[in-house]
Copies of this chain bind each other. A is one copy, B any other.
Amino acid sequence: MTVEQLTAEERDSWLSGLKGWALTREGKAIQRTFEFGDFSEAFSFMTRVAMIAEARDHHPEWFNVYNRVEITLTTHDADGLSRRDVKMARKIDALLA
């Protein structure tokens, strides 16, 4: 199944509702950096994100060092951003709400 890439208008509209996420890779991905008290907290967060990712079959590209987690979301099948990324970003943000 092909996943449709967001139009520039859709992208800007959805993004305006996502606090902390910024466009990267020439608009083909969104990225947010999260900071925690220590590694244990950061990895606990990552574990919850991993479960969301697995359940949705949509996986992040992410980097961690100690208390910092940098998450990049993109949809390879769409060669850019799709609604799956926006929904995933919202799910991730909801973990911290």
Whether A62 lies near B59 (C-beta < 8 A) is no
Interface residues of A (CB under 8 A from B): 39-40, 43, 46-47, 50, 53-54, 59-66
Partner of A63, one of B39, B40, B62: B62
- When all copies of this chain in the complex are counted, the total is 2
Residue contacts A-B, CB under 8 angstroms, 21 given: A39-B50, A39-B53, A39-B54, A39-B59, A40-B54, A43-B47, A43-B50, A43-B54, A46-B46, A47-B47, A59-B65, A59-B66, A60-B64, A60-B65, A61-B63, A61-B64, A61-B65, A62-B63, A62-B64, A62-B65, A63-B63
Q: How far is the CA of A65 from the CA of B76 in the complex (A)?
A: 12
